[in-house]
Amino acid sequence: MENQPLITEIQRFSVNDGPGIRTLVFLKGCPMRCSWCHNPETQKTYPEVYWKKRLCVQCGACLEPCPRDAINPPIPIKLAQEEGSSYQKIIRDRCDRCMKCVNACRYDALAVVGKRMSIDEILTEVEKDRPFYDNSGGGLTLSGGEPTMHAEFSTALLAAAKERGLHTCLDTNGFCSWETLEKVVKHADIVLFDLKHMDSAAHEQETGVKNDRILKNLWRLSKTGAEIWVRIPVVPGFNDTLEFHEAAARFLAGLPGKISRVDLLPFHNWCQDKYGWLGIDWKFKETEALEPALLEIPAEVYRKEGLPTTIGGSGFEAAEAMGA
Amino acid sequence: MAQAALKNTSIEEFEKKQEWWWAAEKRRSSRLDYLRKAIWKKGAIGGLYAPGVKTDLEQAVLTTNMARSLENAPDPYVVKSAKIFAHVLDNKTIFITDHAQLVGYTGSLPHTMNWNPSIASILNAEVFNDPTSIPDPVDKNQAVIQDIVGYWAGKSDLDKMMPVFDMEDMMKMLSGSIGWGVPLARGGYSNKDYEYLMTGKRAFQEILEEIDKKIDEADELVHTPVANKEIALMYDKLNNWEAMKICLEAGIRIAKRYARLARIIAENFEEDPKRKEELLKIAAACERVPAHPPRTLQESFQYDIFIQMMSRTEAIEGAWPCRPDYYHGPYYDKDVNIDKTLTPEEALDLVGEFLIRAAEVCQFKPKFAREGLQGIDGTWVWTMGGVDANGRDACNDLTIAFMQAARLVRVANPTFAFRWHPHVQDKVMREVFECIRHGLGYPSIRHDPILIANAMHWHGHPIEEARLWVHQACMSPNPPTKHGYQPMRMANATANCAKIIEYVFTSGFDKIVNMQVGAETPDVTTFKDFEEFFAAWVTQMKTIFSILVRSVNRARVLAPTLTPRPFLSAISERSVESGLDTLDPSIARGNAWITAFTWVENADSLAAVKKLVFEEKKYTMAELKEALDKNWEGYEEMRLDFVKNAPKWGNDDDYVDSIMLRCLDECAKFSKEIKCPCGNNWPILPENVSGNIHYANIVGALPNGRRLGDALYDGGISPGPGLDKNGPTAVLKSCGKIDHITQGRAFLLNQRLSPTQLAGEKGYQLWRAYMRTWADLGLDHVQFNMVDDSTLRAAQKDPEKYQEVIVRVAGYSAHFVDISRKTQDNIIQRTVQGLG
């Protein structure tokens, strides 16, 4: 298939991304650049190199095969690993990702992220957990990155999954043309639709794009009667205000179709290792994870508008617990 | 925790913080709180007993004195044994704990560990050499112990058995490299004939009448004008019956002593009228049981405790097989639901106390056993739930009460194993889940339909008996029925299976103990393909298993005459009926199994050799042999290749999973070739208890990348720590490829759960979905560890604050602070599966 995207990971036993026990397929490549992004390795469409400093023994085996002099020479392990060390193994602006260093590494400290897999290979992996889907109402969730960026592939993958009798969820940021979205959602039983900010300027500042297209897509999608779970990452200093929640709740309640539920996803910083592995300085690295209990008040804002709401998006949340 | 902080924090706050132990302390009744704190912690920490816990010399002295006085008596050995047993019961110190409603303890005082010196002289030597547990005054008592040790040298059960074993097998076994323990009829795990004993039809007095009838009939037969083999053998039976009677009568007498003590306290010393009434109730119970069947829940529990106390006087019991909800349930129903003589709260106090009475029991154990049983005295896995003989749901109100009481008293031993079947009601599953969620580490869940079929497949138990099964030790089902119950599971049929693959590389020579133990298979470098290599593995497996099995078989055949069990026989229908000792193989169906310690290393090692040596030819066999000989020293890069670039069990990867199945197939086939003296099979049962730590310095370097000294995998069919990269569903999928009916007797699986997201209703629903799939995949066992890393790390740093944290270690739960640093690290290292 042309323009076949890379897969960063197929994650079995996911329980917060649609109903039941699910397998998540992460596609690589996203048109947005959310500053808090929890999966930085899924932003670029091309393969990247992780350098995992805790695994690196500073043996220097990666130095010699590098044709572009993009590897920093070894320093004592302790210095490289100590808190606040700025040492990086790869000089990213010289690296052309030829991956020769990865092949030389014996300690799994250097690794490629992003690999090509056929639809059949992907679904073979996904089908391994079929007994768990049967008992939990789970299935496949296609995520990213952004699946609509690879519309043809995503549509084909979801269609093939349906043919095999799998329940499907599409996890999208909604930033694409309506025609694209309409095509990809056709084979999704549930659309997990991200909503990040109601104010377009604020949205653009932290995600790189305006929100008008996203809101419009959500409006049109709801009109089709598709089952939609709206997912709102709650990020400190960005959208953790009652003002935002009230505006979002009003907007969602006023859509032409019913929103099945709203999942408030508290910001966390468990992904900071991944930023380090990619050599990216993350602006949120010092930010504490948001205590889920703090979202009880915002959750009530949505429930008051008649929107069933969860904190954390568990695929096992009982209807009564979601309120509304 | 400071008393003030404990006082000022509410139960709800503690529960929210998942500090279940403090919540339990606040929630339980004042009686349970007192009783829980009034027992001594007996489990050994890193092989050492806690300060203050002392070896009890009373039984040892009584046993030795009586043995001396009987030396020249004309009694047959079995009668002498019974007389010694009776002498101990008649003279042992008895006590009643304040606030207690149940009485009976194995030792003479609450801080003591029972010691029976007549069983194994090597154990006696350990008593003598363990200065921390010798009671004060040490000098005087050392002399007493020396006298006892000297007397039994050459006379203990083990000393009597040694000369009649095959010496070569015995030396290999005692080397400690391939086995565990020694084959003794009075040192292991005794199941009981609960269908005979606990169904309300009879107790000791009624059995005595049955025996009298038997004796009368025999007496008549041997005096009729005829002579034959039956009569010739009848005199042995008469001796056995006489011995059984001595034991039962002594059992009734000691209960009466407890009754008298309770009355004396009530009538002369107790001022509180309520406590006085309780003491009189204890007296009434002890007058009733074990002479006659119990009438109330209290009497039923009391009966059970007496039987266990007596069994532990006769033998060293490493387990406590029972099914308390099933056998005591009818009394709970009568007292609480029908007669309403007990409120549910009062009943809960009794249930909690029953757990506490069991938790305090202790017998002095040799060091190898203490190391293998980190933090506890034995593996007392109590069977709960399940079906009755007709296949109907046997869960009852007492099942639920036990789950609730366990969360209140939070003891690490006994633990529960819950027999799941499709008809278990949701309310019961919720109670089971609450125990797991509260971090008890138990119940483990057992798959009833699978295990019933398994019991029929391997041992031919009829379905009605198979359905009654209880855990004989940690994992192994055994029906507590007339011909089904196994009187002794001798612990030494426990194979250190990592040696199978190790010996393939050394042609059976064990470098740790410096002797030829395994088979002399050809030099490993001569194998041309994986098939030849695997054939050597099969040979080593058969060699190790048969050495262990032969010794158990031999012991079992000799036991009825050399080391009889008159008390256990007296409570067994088949012995009362036949006059034969209950260990006699001719009256038992047979329920043997080989416990397979350190099993999974074989599959991972075979897969690594197949892939890297035979298929990819990345290394020659000579290189691998050299690397293993050097314990991987100087071969670190190569070692990492074997760790990382060879498939590992537990990832739903058919490459290695199919090797696991092939190994099990070979074992299953061999299991039907080796037979026990009852004529039945010897299936294998992969589990580890804490053997993975005990054997760390005994198993050499392995092709899975393990070095000598590294802890082995934590057991059963659990993947290697940190090697299960694909999450809990992949682990279940791998384990589900095994046929849990025909490929072995049972398979232990540990799953570590992240507690944070198992909270609330959604946590329960997630767990249920997971468990339904577990059931669909046909796994026979799973157990959960619910404590998170941060708690465990904090507990390592500050053990004082975390005294009550329980973790599941292999076959049982233990208090985390009680286990060695190495075991602790091993648990933390396990992949947190994040079920949620």
Which chain B residue lies closest to A15 (C-alpha atoms)? B836
Q: Residue B645: its chain A contacts at CB < 8 A? A: none
Of A13, A128, A316, the CB nearest to B765: A316
Q: Looking at A62, A97, A113, which one is the last position of a domain?
A: A113
Compute the average pLDDT of residues B446-474. 97
Q: Which among A151, A142, A206 has a CA at the least distance from the CA of A178?
A: A151
Cβ-contact B500, B537 below 8 angstroms: yes
The CATH code of the domain that includes A286 is 3.20.20.70
At residue B167, φ and ψ (nearest 5 deg) are -65, -35
The reply to whether A57 and A182 lie within a common domain is no
- pLDDT for position B166: 93
Query: To the nearest whole angstrom, how far is the Cα of A313 from the nearest Cα of chain B?
Result: 11
- pLDDT for position A272: 75
- pLDDT for position B818: 65
The reply to whether A230 and A304 lie within a common domain is yes
The reply to whether A151 and A267 lie within a common domain is yes
Tell me how far CA of residue B172 lies from CA of B508, B551, B599, in angstroms.
12, 11, 19
| A41 inside domain | no
Q: Residue B729: its chain A contacts at CB < 8 A? A: 12-13, 21, 128-129, 132
Query: To the nearest whole angstrom, how far is the Cα of B419 from the nearest Cα of chain A?
Result: 20
Query: To the nearest whole angstrom, how far is the Cα of A312 from the nearest Cα of chain B?
Result: 10
**Residue B760 to residue A108, Cβ atoms within 8 A:** no
- For residue B290, whether the previous peptide bond is cis, meaning omega lies within 30 degrees of 0, is yes
Query: To the nearest whole angstrom, how far is the Cα of B731 from the nearest Cα of chain A?
Result: 11
Cβ-contact B117, B124 below 8 angstroms: yes
Of A12, A134, A314, the CB nearest to B726: A12
Residue B799 has pLDDT above 90, yes or no: no
The reply to whether A87 and A197 lie within a common domain is no
The reply to whether A53 and A89 lie within a common domain is yes
**Residue B769 to residue A316, Cβ atoms within 8 A:** yes
Which chain B residue lies closest to A10 (C-alpha atoms)? B726
- pLDDT for position B705: 96
- For residue range B552-593, list pLDDT tens digits in order: 999 999 999 999 999 999 999 999 999 999 999 999 999 999
Cβ-contact A324, A303 below 8 angstroms: yes
- pLDDT for position B807: 61
ipTM: 0.91
Enumerate chain A positions whose Cβ falls within 8 A of a Cβ in B: 11-13, 15, 20-21, 106-108, 128-129, 131-132, 134-136, 138, 312, 314-318, 321
- For residue range A192-224, list pLDDT tens digits in order: 999 999 999 999 999 999 999 999 999 999 999
- For residue range B741-790, list pLDDT tens digits in order: 999 999 999 887 766 667 788 889 999 999 999 999 999 999 987 766 67
Distance CA A45, CA A22 (A): 24
The reply to whether A120 and A79 lie within a common domain is no
Distance CA A174, CA B480 (A): 64
- pLDDT for position A277: 87
Give the percent of chain B with pLDDT over 90.
80
**Residue A136 to residue B761, Cβ atoms within 8 A:** no
Query: To the nearest whole angstrom, how far is the Cα of A80 from the nearest Cα of chain B?
Result: 21
Of B641, B652, B761, the CB nearest to A321: B761
Compute the average pLDDT of residues B153-163. 93
Residue B666 has pLDDT above 70, yes or no: yes
Distance CA B687, CA B444 (A): 13
Cβ-contact B679, B687 below 8 angstroms: no
Q: What would the two tokens of residue B401 be? A: 């009460």
Q: Looking at A113, A143, A158, which one is the last position of a domain?
A: A113
**Residue A135 to residue B728, Cβ atoms within 8 A:** no
The reply to whether A266 and A303 lie within a common domain is yes
| A43 inside domain | no
What lies within 8 Å, CB to CB, of B147 at 6+ separation is B64
Query: To the nearest whole angstrom, how far is the Cα of B597 from the nearest Cα of chain A?
Result: 29
Task: Spell out the long-range contacts of A185-189 with Cβ–Cβ below 8 A and sequence spacing 24 or more.
Answer: A185/A221, A185/A224, A185/A226, A186/A155, A186/A158, A186/A159, A187/A155, A187/A158, A187/A159, A187/A161, A187/A162, A188/A142, A188/A158, A188/A226, A189/A139, A189/A227
Enumerate chain B positions whose Cβ falls within 8 A of a Cβ in A: 637, 640-641, 644, 652, 726-730, 733, 736, 757, 760-763, 765-766, 769-770, 772-773, 776-777, 834-836
The overall average pLDDT reported for chain A is: 94
Q: Residue A135: its chain B contacts at CB < 8 A? A: 769-770, 772-773, 776
**Residue B769 to residue A132, Cβ atoms within 8 A:** yes
Q: Looking at A96, A113, A130, which one is the last position of a domain?
A: A113
- pLDDT for position B686: 96
List the domain range (segments joined by +) for residue A53.
48-113
Query: To the nearest whole angstrom, how far is the Cα of A69 from the nearest Cα of chain B?
Result: 25
Q: Where are the alpha helices (DSSP H) in B672-745?
A: 691-694, 727-736
Query: To the nearest whole angstrom, how far is the Cα of A315 from the nearest Cα of chain B?
Result: 8
Of A11, A108, A135, the CB nearest to B773: A135
Residue B158 has pLDDT above 90, yes or no: yes
The reply to whether A58 and A121 lie within a common domain is no
Residue B412 has pLDDT above 90, yes or no: no
- pLDDT for position A215: 98
| A40 inside domain | no
Of A15, A128, A316, the CB nearest to B652: A128
Higher-confidence position of A124 and B378: A124
Q: Residue A21: its chain B contacts at CB < 8 A? A: 729, 766, 769-770, 773
- pLDDT for position B464: 98
Q: Residue A315: its chain B contacts at CB < 8 A? A: 766
The reply to whether A127 and A189 lie within a common domain is yes
**Residue A106 to residue B640, Cβ atoms within 8 A:** yes
Compute the average pLDDT of residues B329-352. 98
| A2 inside domain | no
Lowest mean pLDDT among A285-294, B59-68, B499-508: A285-294
Is residue B809 very low, low, confident or very high in pLDDT (cuts 50, 70, 90)? very low
- pLDDT for position B534: 98
A-to-B residue pairs, Cβ atoms closer than 8 angstroms: 69
Query: To the nearest whole angstrom, how far is the Cα of A34 from the nearest Cα of chain B?
Result: 26
Q: How many domains does chain A have?
A: 2
Q: Are strands B316-317 and B187-189 parallel, antiparallel or unpaired?
A: parallel
Query: To the nearest whole angstrom, how far is the Cα of A100 from the nearest Cα of chain B?
Result: 18
The CATH code of the domain that includes A82 is 3.30.70.20
The overall average pLDDT reported for chain B is: 92
Of A21, A107, A136, the CB nearest to B640: A107
The reply to whether A84 and A128 lie within a common domain is no
| A68 inside domain | yes
Lowest mean pLDDT among B12-16, B413-417, B560-564: B12-16
Q: What is the pTM of this model?
A: 0.93
The reply to whether A58 and A104 lie within a common domain is yes
Compute the average pLDDT of residues B483-504. 94
Q: Residue A312: its chain B contacts at CB < 8 A? A: 757
- pLDDT for position A10: 93
Q: Residue A11: its chain B contacts at CB < 8 A? A: 727
| A38 inside domain | no
**Residue A131 to residue B773, Cβ atoms within 8 A:** yes
For an interface test with A, give the residue of B726, B764, B790 to mutate (most A CBs within 10 A): B726
- pLDDT for position B42: 84
- pLDDT for position B826: 63
Lowest mean pLDDT among A41-45, B383-387, B815-819: B815-819
- For residue range B342-352, list pLDDT tens digits in order: 999 999 999 99
The reply to whether A87 and A201 lie within a common domain is no
Lowest mean pLDDT among A105-109, B36-40, B140-144: A105-109
Cβ-contact A276, A284 below 8 angstroms: no
| A39 inside domain | no
Name beta bridge partners: A26: A9, A143
Is residue B827 very low, low, confident or very high in pLDDT (cuts 50, 70, 90)? low
- Burial code (b: 16+ CB inside 10 Å, e: under 16) for B719-741 equals bbbebbebbbbbbbbbbbbbbbb
Query: To the nearest whole angstrom, how far is the Cα of B423 from the nearest Cα of chain A?
Result: 17
Compute the average pLDDT of residues B625-629. 98
- For residue range B525-541, list pLDDT tens digits in order: 999 999 999 999 999 99
Is residue B812 very low, low, confident or very high in pLDDT (cuts 50, 70, 90)? very low
| A236 inside domain | yes
What lies within 8 Å, CB to CB, of A78 at 6+ separation is none
- pLDDT for position B814: 58
Cβ-contact A159, A140 below 8 angstroms: no
Of A11, A128, A138, the CB nearest to B733: A128
Residue B245 has pLDDT above 60, yes or no: yes
Which chain A residue lies closest to B16 (C-alpha atoms)? A293
Q: Residue A107: its chain B contacts at CB < 8 A? A: 640
